[in-house]
Amino acid sequence: MYRLGNLLSMIKGVETVTQAENAQKAISTYQTIRPEVLILDIRMRGANGIEVLKHVKSGQNAPKVIMLTNYPYPQYEKKCFEEGADYFLDKSKEFDELNEIIRSLVKESGVIPQSNYV
C-alpha cells in the first residue's frame, strides 16, 4: 500500500492520507476523521471491505468510496455498487485511473478533501 499512499500524498489538494490495518480500524478512523474520500479493498483483516462500505454509506454525509481490489469479480463489483460504492477499480489493471479520479474529486468538491485508505 506504500504505492497508494505515495500517490495520494503527491496529489495537490489532498490534505490528509491515513491507512488502517484492518476493518475495525478503518471504521474507527473514518468515524474520527470523517474523510471525504475513502479507498477500500474487499479483503481486509477482521471483516471485508464491503462491510466497511455498508457502514460508512449508512450515515449522513457519506464519503465517496473507491473500491480498489485484486478481486475484480463481477459479483463483487455488483455488490459494491449495490452498497453504495462510487467507483470499483481493479488494482492490477486500473490503478493508474485512481490518480485522475482523486484529482477529479478535488476539483469537483472545490475544497481540499481528506483521503483514508485501507
Domains belonging to the chain, first-starting first, are 2-117 (3.40.50.2300)
Please give the pLDDT value at position 113.
46
Crossing angle between the packed helical segments 49-57 and 23-33, to the nearest 10 degrees: 20
pLDDT beneath 50: ranges in the chain: 112-113
Amino acid at 61: N
- Predicted pLDDT at 112: 46
Question: For the chain, how many helices (H) and strands (E)?
Answer: 6, 5
Residues 106, 46: Cα–Cα separation, whole Å: 31
* Contact of 35 with 113, CB cutoff 8 Å: yes
Query: What residue type is assigned to position 83 of the chain?
Result: E
pLDDT at residue 94, as a whole number = 93
- For residues 61 and 31, the answer to whether their CB atoms sit within 8 Å is no
Residue 103 is predicted with a pLDDT of 86
pLDDT of residue 50: 95
The pTM of the full predicted model, rounded to 2 decimals, is 0.85
> How crowded is the C-beta side of 78, counted as CA atoms within 13 Å?
3
DSSP β-bridge partners for residue 39: 66, 117
pLDDT recorded at residue 1: 56
